[in-house]
Structure 1
């Protein structure tokens, strides 16, 4: 039977049926992994498929060991004529769910089989409403698989059968088709969705849908922005009426594509500043104008610059802090000429002056050491906070910790020495964490005493 199905030998099929009229039923008992119809479908043996469907049409709903039905296989492989035969045997086959809740239209969309999509939508337009166990529609799967033609075909059918609302359906994570397109930076697909939106009656595409993480499509682009193409993608979404989720805080409801952008008292586009206060206000961070992604990138650059400068200053400190001063050995002659007096250090006045100079030098070194260390650790703390959730964060933390250790080790030969320097370094290195935790501790103490 396997050889007959693979080769499409109908005469062999009839010969086997003459020998055993129940061979098609018995084959399911002998080989539960595949049935002859699924095998013939994979091999694209149209005549054999037609004959098996005539004899045993119920084989069309049988699942193989991988959870695929014959129509799923035909849709995935793009066997148009075989799919048509299976649909003719029972139009209800198009909505039979298999592995992960997927139906034939899902496999057609994943593999870009436009002709199969047309067949399925013509036979059963409700298949566009089929969702997987993860809540994905055929639109989701087409975008995830980068199948531009399949997406365009499904969108065309949604408009034709008046099911345009499906384009805004979200999966179990709350992601719409636009979220997927933005996360994969598919500029061409975003433009297709926007063009389709403008060509349908009214604005049907929800540009400001929020997923379960509270992100819109623009938020996702802001997080993943890396190149000028990403900036262009963001501008397209913004021009179409897209907003970041942070902008919803200044309006009573989510803005639509034709809603004017809120100003919240800030300068509107084209408005000129009237005084210095307006100028400063204009360049401040504004939630309704600036994206969190851009602010994050700016903070990362500034923090990295501070870390670089302070680390370099720590391992190569200003030399004048550690050079011995000659001010205590300077004597002024009667004619106003200054010269070094090698004997002055031997008297008590010279010793007091030199001690005073050394004390002042020690204070300068201490101030420099503490201030530079606080600046370095604060900058690295900012980098750590801003990289939360990014890939390789553990490795990044290891590298920053090693850098701080190397910085502290490089200060081993500087003044002050011993316990004093160790205490200063501990205070300086732990101060950013202390300042972060202090407000939390204070609020807890207030609640306990209240």
Structure 2
């Protein structure tokens, strides 16, 4: 782009625009054919230069349809930044542009909802109410994006607008994963938005909001809160959903509808009521299934199993099998009362016999180490799972203190067994580190893969940062 045109668009210098047109009457038309990163109309919209925008629209209204290399049209920019007057000018010049999709299938109303531009939402709904029906490449409506972006006022404005134009049924529209707005609010634990939706539903004729909509994983909003519950506020949210009439999917027989292709097969490879034909079907029958099993019941079952594991391993640690630690009367090395190591006089000095007994003692030592490491890892893994499953429950802080004290007592009890000293410390470090490492390692691998797959976008991101206030469009 000509630097003078760029400066004129940023500063709103209409005189410079006319001077450039005098020098080259086709300078604006060229942007319709050139593969330019930006056009003057988009830049002037970003800079909120209303007079310049109005003049460009008068001369070349076609520029309003052109998007830049990032997929943003001038109306998208105006919607994201909240430039109401500029949006009105663009809509007056090219009304049809309000439903033109750009980056990720988004239209202007999506950018307005994402950035909380209530006036723009009202403006777009008044000019083209059908724009509310636009969905992104992921099947999300402006309602979804408002909840996703934590924009309470955007959602409130959208609900009011849908009620005015008689499209309240859109509140139950689902994205490509089958998630409605209510699923979004539950998954993000947005109590304020949940209460807004419930109040709106109670005040709307017909109670249009489906509180028990099931997504493609077979989950209702109550199921999602059950899975993600971590604090007392989450359980309060669950009670609100319950009182409003929400249920878990396990409380009623609903199987989520899914479009099936020719390659898809039933999960258990047999018809309902038909007995499993082989051992694979039997195993699959007992696997956790979202549409059949309750997440709450699954959590309870896991708590019972892990508590049993913790109990058994703790008992085995403080009272290990006696045969592992029985003192040998024929030990090669004995310890006197003053702590001096002496060669056992009962042992023959024959080299072969010494080697055999030495190998036997090393094997015994290896058995002890394997037992203690495996038992310690099992105990700390079980306590880690218990800690995770009880997040948000009452007295969790006290429970953590109790489990930490139990682990400390377990480690201290190892001091009364052989081997002692440094090896005991090593065993404890291994036992405490392995469960944590197993939790952290998958996340680290996932982040590394994501970093490598998106590394090539670094240059583009740097350019985006340099663009003034570019982040509001992402």
Whole-angstrom CA distance in 2 between matches of 1:128 and 1:227? 35
The correspondence of residues 3-402 of structure 1 with structure 2, limited to 5 A, is 3-29=7-33, 32-249=36-253, 292-317=294-319
Whole-angstrom CA distance in 2 between matches of 1:3 and 1:323? 89
How many corresponding residue pairs? 313
Secondary structure in 2 matching 1:156:
helix
TM-score of the two chains, using structure 1 as the length reference: 0.63
Over 3 Å counting, the alpha-carbon distance change for 1:35 and 1:318 in structure 2 is closer
Note the residue ranges of structure 2 that are not aligned, 5 or more in a row.
258-292, 328-370, 390-410, 420-474
* 1:222 and 1:292 in contact (8 A); partners too: no
Over 3 Å counting, the alpha-carbon distance change for 1:299 and 1:28 in structure 2 is same
Cα shift at 1:19: 1.2
Over aligned residues, Cα RMSD in angstroms? 3.7
Whole-angstrom CA distance in 1 between matches of 2:57 and 2:256? 55
Deviation track 1:196-222 (CA, whole Å, cap 9, x = no partner) reads: 001111110011111010101101001
* 1:53 and 1:60 in contact (8 A); partners too: yes
Cα shift at 1:377: 7.2
Which structure ranks higher in relative contact order (CA pairs < 8 Å, sequence separation ≥ 6)?
Answer: 2
Note the residue ranges of structure 1 that are not aligned, 5 or more in a row.
255-290, 325-369, 389-405, 415-450
Whole-angstrom CA distance in 2 between matches of 1:204 and 1:41? 39
Secondary structure in 1 matching 2:252:
helix
Larger Rg: 1
* 1:101 and 1:132 in contact (8 A); partners too: yes
Cα shift at 1:381: 9.2
* 1:300 and 1:383 in contact (8 A); partners too: no
Whole-angstrom CA distance in 1 between matches of 2:218 and 2:9? 52
Whole-angstrom CA distance in 1 between matches of 2:301 and 2:44? 61
Over 3 Å counting, the alpha-carbon distance change for 1:54 and 1:318 in structure 2 is closer
Whole-angstrom CA distance in 1 between matches of 2:321 and 2:161? 75
Whole-angstrom CA distance in 1 between matches of 2:191 and 2:46? 35
Cα shift at 1:307: 2.5
Whole-angstrom CA distance in 1 between matches of 2:33 and 2:7? 18
Whole-angstrom CA distance in 1 between matches of 2:30 and 2:319? 87
Whole-angstrom CA distance in 2 between matches of 1:246 and 1:27? 58
Cα shift at 1:379: 12
TM-score of the two chains, using structure 2 as the length reference: 0.60
Deviation track 1:66-121 (CA, whole Å, cap 9, x = no partner) reads: 00000000000111111111011121111111111100000000000000001000
Deviation track 1:392-449 (CA, whole Å, cap 9, x = no partner) reads: xxxxxxxxxxxxxx9xx99x979xxxxxxxxxxxxxxxxxxxxxxxxxxxxxxxxxxx
Whole-angstrom CA distance in 1 between matches of 2:6 and 2:34? 12
